[in-house]
Amino acid sequence: MTAWKEIDQHVKVWMNYARKLILAQIKTDVQVSTKSGPNDLVTNVDKEIEEYYVKQIKLFFPNSLILGEEGHKDSGMLKHQGYFWVIDPIDGTMNFVKEQENFASMIAIYYNGKPLLGYIYDVMKDKLFWGGPACQAVYCNNEKLNSPANLSLKDGLFGASCPMVLRNYRGINEVISKSSGARIVGSAGIEFINVMSGKLCAYLSFLRPWDYLPGKILAETLGLIVKTIDGEPVNVLSSTDVLVATDNAQSEIFKIINNY
Ligand code: IPD
Ligand code: CA
Ligand code: CA
């Protein structure tokens, strides 16, 4: 197994390159297409970054298996002994296209099925959140993060997902009414950052593995809770509703949802 510092050095070089690609193209050279529907976007930049990450991983860590949002899918991932990488080249593509901020590039790394390192890069703020069990800490750039305060729901903002609010999914409006208020950002990665930084007491959304695995690795390292809305562990390869929260907020949220 390669020392984690060596892996980390490579990943940071790749993510800096991805940031340069984004900054070079964001104003002038973004070609947008739709995937499953009009609100599910992909751009040439998403594809270019995923291809770049895959190429670098295969070059430096040839025995890796990789799952990427924009199409790269190796088989046999669950049984794999070795490195398993999950890539979301741009998380919050809608924000990338419409707002030109509030999006992130993300990578999660597992070794022999165990979490190793997670990376969420808020590209426009130039803030890279990274860390995990390999270094038993989480950093924002070079600054070590403290675990956030154990906020209760009434003392914290709740990070929501628009489709869940529109459907009042599992009584989410009741959760929001018992919080300090709701915020909807539109990038799972940025929402995870906001919970880890103590700006939110919780975030709930239906997510796919590449949306939540980098954040799960980081949030759990800081002692935050990451579970499904039924309080079950989040399976590494499933698409599911994911709640990330402080310990106090999660127990209040589960109580409200179970009584709904
Ligand atoms: C999306 C964002 C969004 C979440 C969606 C994701 P994408 O990721 O994280 O916040 O609500 O479910 O698909 O498609 O922009 O990488
Ligand atoms: Ca994406
Ligand atoms: Ca995503």
CA 157 to ligand 1 centroid distance, Å = 20
DSSP3 helix / strand / coil % (the chain, rounded to 5) = 35, 30, 35
What is the layout of strands, in order, in the sheet containing 65-68? 65-68, 83-91, 104-111, 114-122, 127-132, 137-140, 143-144
- Annotated binding residue 69: yes
- Take residue 163 and report the two structure tokens written for it: 């489709």
The verdict on the CB of residue 211 being under 6 Å from ligand 1 is: yes
pLDDT of residue 78: 64
Delineate the domains of the chain, giving CATH numbers in brackets: 4-144 (3.30.540.10), 153-258 (3.40.190.80)
pLDDT of residue 130: 98
CB-based neighbours (< 5 A) of ligand 3, an ion: 88, 91, 211
H/E stretch holding 137 reads strand 137-140
pLDDT of residue 259: 86
Measured between alpha carbons, how far is 224 from 200 in angstroms, rounded to an integer?
A: 12
CA 208 to ligand 2 centroid distance, Å = 10
Measured between alpha carbons, how far is 127 from 44 in angstroms, rounded to an integer?
A: 23
pLDDT tens over the chain, length 260 residues: 779 999 999 999 999 999 999 999 998 878 989 989 998 888 999 999 999 999 999 999 998 999 999 988 887 766 778 999 999 999 999 999 999 999 999 999 999 999 999 999 999 999 999 999 999 999 999 999 999 999 999 999 999 999 999 999 999 999 999 999 999 999 999 999 999 999 999 999 999 999 999 999 999 999 999 999 999 999 888 899 999 999 999 999 999 998 88
Spatial CA neighbour of 250 closest among 192, 218, 204, 206: 204
Half-sphere exposure of 208 (CA within 13 A, CB side): 11
CA 92 to ligand 2 centroid distance, Å = 6
Q: Which atom of ligand 1 is nearest to the CA of 88?
A: 16
The verdict on the CB of residue 241 being under 6 Å from ligand 1 is: no
CA 210 to ligand 3 centroid distance, Å = 6
